[in-house]
């Protein structure tokens, strides 16, 4: 069977608001995430009734509580299904709060040659007008697109690449933005308009098996903390991290969300230099919502190569895992 004949989809559920339940239909914030089974979410979308699907519940959590064991389970299920020739793509239902981190992890580790489409909702499944069913339906259209590949996030009719997507609003039903890169495309009535290339995929095979083995073999990710530079930052938090002995994992890295073009308060910088001297990797990202640190000669800290602070944290942890 070649890639164009593969029509089967796999839907993996992990929880989130898309699976949320509230006591009242007009309550869009006081709900509990991760309550409705992914099989019920699929049943809410009539168009999916005719699509050959496998549906699996991998987790049932609020994504703010994401942990490595769920990522392990999810990456393993994704990889197993990607290897099936009859599978065209995978859809993952996920909470919006850390969807950008899961998308980044799956793209960085797997670089899948088929589409892996994460989708979500900002209104619970019990809402007067839930947004989940349309998002799920759009995600399926993307996963079935013959040219789609790599990890993307689909929400509110927009397709975002895993590397650029960020949640930028806590309430709107279109809460994501891809910053300067812009969205990858859009879905309109199950039709795609694609504006820029799909995420990078492995040159051969369904995914990067060696990188997946490294992730699966890690009982914990190397410990990388994320801190901010701000007015009156005095470096105390860094010194506390360096002095800390009770943590299960030793401190291996710090990402600092710097002001503007990755600048850091002098007093915090002094503490970060101390951390570097003790063998801790330090990377600076920008705390600005858009743009990236523009590298320049003499910059005091290596920069995150355009990654947002949360993604830079994950990237450094994965890099340390390989070291
Ligand atoms: C979550 O991230 O699981 C809860 C919030 C959401 O999905 O919007």
The domain spanning residue 158 has which CATH number?
3.40.50.1170
pLDDT at 186 over 70: yes
Is 17 a pocket residue for ligand 1 (Cβ < 6 Å)? yes
- Are both 91 and 112 inside the same structural domain? yes
Q: Residue 32: which domain range? A: 3-212
The number of domains in the chain is 2
**188, 212, 236 - which closes a domain:** 212
Catalytic pick among 17, 93, 126, 259:
17
- Are both 95 and 199 inside the same structural domain? yes
Report the CATH number that the domain containing residue 230 is assigned in CATH: 3.40.50.40
- Are both 116 and 251 inside the same structural domain? no
Residue 2, pLDDT score: 53
Is 122 a pocket residue for ligand 1 (Cβ < 6 Å)? yes
Calculate mean pLDDT across residues 28-55.
95
- What distance in angstroms lies between residue 279's CA and the mean position of ligand 1's atoms? 36
- What distance in angstroms lies between residue 173's CA and the mean position of ligand 1's atoms? 12
Is 98 designated active site?
Answer: no
Q: At which residue do the structure tokens 């992890």 appear? A: 105
- What distance in angstroms lies between residue 33's CA and the mean position of ligand 1's atoms? 6
- Are both 60 and 135 inside the same structural domain? yes
- Are both 98 and 125 inside the same structural domain? yes
- What distance in angstroms lies between residue 72's CA and the mean position of ligand 1's atoms? 20
- Are both 195 and 296 inside the same structural domain? no
Tokens of 269: 């910088």
- Are both 265 and 191 inside the same structural domain? no
Residue range 98-140, pLDDT digits in tens: 999 999 999 999 999 999 999 999 999 999 999 999 999 999 9
Residue range 236-293, pLDDT digits in tens: 999 999 997 666 689 999 999 999 999 999 999 999 999 999 999 999 999 999 999 9
- Are both 102 and 203 inside the same structural domain? yes
Residue 1, pLDDT score: 53
Residue 323, pLDDT score: 85
For residue 99, the ligand 1 atom closest to its alpha carbon is 2
Is 135 a pocket residue for ligand 1 (Cβ < 6 Å)? no
- Segment among 18-27, 45-54, 268-277 with least mean pLDDT: 45-54
State the Cα–Cα distance between residues 318 and 323, nearest whole angstrom: 9
- Are both 108 and 255 inside the same structural domain? no
- Are both 179 and 230 inside the same structural domain? no
DSSP secondary structure string, 156-207? TTEEEETTT-EE--SS-SS-EE-GGG--SEEEETTEEEE-SPPPP--SSSSS
- Are both 181 and 264 inside the same structural domain? no
């Amino acid at each position: 069977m070649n890639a164009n004949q593969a029509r089967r989809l796999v839907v993996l559920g992990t929880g989130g608001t898309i699976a949320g339940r509230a006591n009242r239909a007009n309550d869009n914030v006081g709900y509990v995430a991760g309550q409705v089974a992914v099989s019920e979410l699929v049943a809410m979308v009539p168009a999916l009734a005719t699509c050959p699907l496998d549906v699996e519940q991998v987790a049932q959590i609020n994504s703010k509580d994401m942990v490595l064991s769920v990522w392990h389970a999810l990456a393993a299920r994704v990889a197993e299904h990607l290897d099936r020739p009859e599978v065209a793509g995978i859809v993952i239902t996920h909470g919006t709060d850390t969807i950008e981190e899961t998308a980044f992890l799956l793209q960085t580790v797997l670089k899948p040659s088929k589409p892996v489409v994460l989708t979500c909702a900002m209104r619970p499944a019990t809402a007067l007008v839930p947004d989940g069913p349309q998002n799920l339906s759009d995600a399926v259209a993307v996963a079935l697109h013959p040219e789609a590949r790599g990890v993307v996030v689909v929400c509110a009719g927009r397709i975002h690449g895993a590397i650029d997507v960020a949640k930028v609003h806590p309430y709107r039903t279109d809460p994501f933005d891809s910053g300067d890169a812009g969205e990858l495309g859009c879905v309109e009535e199950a039709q795609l308009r694609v504006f820029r290339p799909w995420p990078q995929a492995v040159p051969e095979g369904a995914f990067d098996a060696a990188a997946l083995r490294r992730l699966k073999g890690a009982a914990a990710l190397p410990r990388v903390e994320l801190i901010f530079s701000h007015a009156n930052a005095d470096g105390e938090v860094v010194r506390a991290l360096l002095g800390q002995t009770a943590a299960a994992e030793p401190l291996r890295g710090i990402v600092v969300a710097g002001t503007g073009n990755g600048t850091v308060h002098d007093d915090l910088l002094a503490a970060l230099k101390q951390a570097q001297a003790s063998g801790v990797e330090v990377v600076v990202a920008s705390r600005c919502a858009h743009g990236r640190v523009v590298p320049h000669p003499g910059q005091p800290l290596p920069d995150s190569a355009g990654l947002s602070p949360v993604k830079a944290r994950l990237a450094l942890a994965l890099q340390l895992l390989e070291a």
